[in-house]
C-alpha cells in the first residue's frame, strides 16, 4: 500500500483468509487476501480480532440471505476496521469472479475492476459511523476465557492440514465432522486428498490432508465400526499439540441428514445450506464427545 492519506484512505475489499500448508501465523494474526479499488491484489497479516468482527457481521448477513461484501476500512498504514455492506446482484456476481481470479492468477481482468469502486467507496458519514461504532465495541469488549486443554493422542501437526475457508469466516469451530472424501483434483499434489467437512457452527468447507492420513482414517473407521461403517462418522479436533482423529456412532436418520448436506454441496457447489435438527444433534454430540474423551 502507498502512504496513508486521510482525505482518501485506501479502503479494500476483503476476499478470503489464506494460509500456505507449511505457513505458521503469529499468535492472534490471520493472513487475508484482498484487493484495492484499482484492482490490485494483495495479501497481508491482520489482527484476528478484526476477522472475528467481520465473521460475525457477514454470517448474520448470510443468515438473512443478503448479498454482501466485507470491506477493510483503512485507519492507518496497513490497519483496517471491518465493514460488511449489502450489495446488489451484479456486484455479488462480480465478487465471485473477483475471488476466482485473485486466487488463480493474482490479478483481475479489466471487466471486473469497474465493480470495485461502487462496492468499496462508502459515503463519508457512513464510513465514520462504522469506524466509531467498531472502536466503541472494542473498548467495551472483554477478553475471552482460555479453553481447557485436553490431552489426546495421536496428533497431526497443523501444517499437515490446509483448510479452505468461506469468505466470511476467519477460522473454523472444532470438532470438524468429515462428510466425504472428494475425488482427486489435478490441481493438488498427488500425496494430498480433499475432504468435505462440516464444522461445529454448521458450515461446510473443503480441507486438504495428506493421503497417508486419509488411509489411516479409513482403516481405523473400518475397525471402529465393523459392519456398521455407514453409521459411524470421523471427527477432527484441534489442540495446541495439533489435530486428532476420533470416531462417533450415529443413527441412520442422522447419517441420512449428513448425506443430504453432502449431496447439496455436490449438486450446487455451495456451502450455504440450512442445517436440520438431526445434523444439529450430531454437532452437539460431537462437541460433547471431544470435551469428554471417555464418552
pLDDT in tens, 169-188: 456 788 999 999 887 765 56
At residue 285, the pLDDT reads: 92
Query: Which cell numbers hold the place of 42?
Result: 494483495
CB-hemisphere CA count at 13 Å for 96? 8
User: How far is CA 190 from its chain centroid?
Assistant: 24
Listed in sequence order, the residues at least 6 apart from 213 whose beta carbon sits closer than 8 Å to its beta carbon are 156, 160, 193
Record the pTM: 0.48
- Could you give the CA distance from residue 36 to residue 13 in angstroms, rounded to a whole number? 6
Alpha-carbon gap, residue 212 to 192, rounded angstroms: 8
Could you tell me what percent of the chain has a pLDDT over 70?
A: 77
Cα(238)–Cα(87) distance, integer angstroms: 35
Mean pLDDT over each residue of the chain, to the nearest integer = 77
Contact 185, 194 (CB under 8 A): yes
Residue 238 pLDDT exceeds 90? no
Is pLDDT of 150 > 50?
no
Q: For residue range 35-56, what is the model confidence (pLDDT) as tens digits?
A: 999 999 988 888 888 877 777 7
**Could you tell me if 131 and 75 are in contact, meaning their C-beta atoms sit under 8 angstroms apart?**
yes
CB 165 within 8 A of CB 58: no
Q: What is the mean pLDDT of the segment spanning 13-25?
A: 74
Chain centre to alpha carbon of residue 56: 12
The predicted model gives 150-159 an average pLDDT of 38
Amino acid at each position: 500500500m502507498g502512504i496513508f492519506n486521510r482525505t482518501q484512505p485506501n479502503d479494500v475489499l476483503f476476499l478470503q483468509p489464506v494460509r500456505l500448508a507449511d505457513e505458521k501465523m503469529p499468535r492472534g494474526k490471520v493472513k487475508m487476501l484482498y484487493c484495492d479499488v484499482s484492482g490490485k491484489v494483495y495479501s497481508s497479516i491482520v489482527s484476528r480480532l478484526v476477522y472475528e468482527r467481520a465473521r460475525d457481521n457477514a454470517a448474520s448477513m448470510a443468515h438473512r440471505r443478503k448479498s454482501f461484501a466485507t470491506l477493510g476500512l483503512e485507519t492507518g498504514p496497513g490497519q483496517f476496521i471491518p465493514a460488511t455492506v449489502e450489495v446488489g446482484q451484479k456486484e455479488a456476481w462480480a465478487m465471485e469472479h473477483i475471488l476466482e481470479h485473485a486466487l488463480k492468477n493474482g490479478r483481475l481482468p479489466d471487466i471486473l475492476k469497474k465493480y470495485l469502486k461502487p462496492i468499496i467507496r462508502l459515503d463519508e458519514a457512513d464510513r465514520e459511523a462504522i469506524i466509531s461504532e467498531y472502536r466503541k465495541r472494542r473498548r467495551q469488549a472483554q477478553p475471552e476465557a482460555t479453553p481447557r486443554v485436553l490431552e489426546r493422542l495421536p496428533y497431526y501437526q497443523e501444517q499437515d492440514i490446509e483448510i479452505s475457508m468461506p469468505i466470511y469466516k476467519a477460522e473454523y469451530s472444532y470438532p470438524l465432522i468429515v462428510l466425504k472424501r472428494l475425488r482427486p483434483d489435478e490441481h493438488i499434489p498427488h500425496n494430498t486428498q480433499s475432504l468435505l467437512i462440516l464444522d461445529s457452527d454448521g458450515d461446510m468447507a473443503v480441507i486438504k490432508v495428506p493421503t497417508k492420513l486419509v488411509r489411516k482414517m479409513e482403516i481405523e473407521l473400518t475397525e471402529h465400526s465393523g459392519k456398521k461403517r455407514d453409521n459411524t462418522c470421523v471427527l477432527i479436533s484441534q489442540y495446541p499439540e495439533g489435530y486428532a482423529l476420533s470416531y462417533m456412532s450415529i443413527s441412520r436418520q442422522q447419517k441420512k441428514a449428513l448425506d443430504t448436506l453432502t449431496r447439496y454441496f455436490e449438486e450446487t457447489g455451495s456451502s450455504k445450506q440450512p442445517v436440520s435438527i438431526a445434523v444439529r444433534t450430531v454437532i452437539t454430540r460431537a462437541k460433547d464427545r471431544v470435551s469428554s474423551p471417555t464418552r
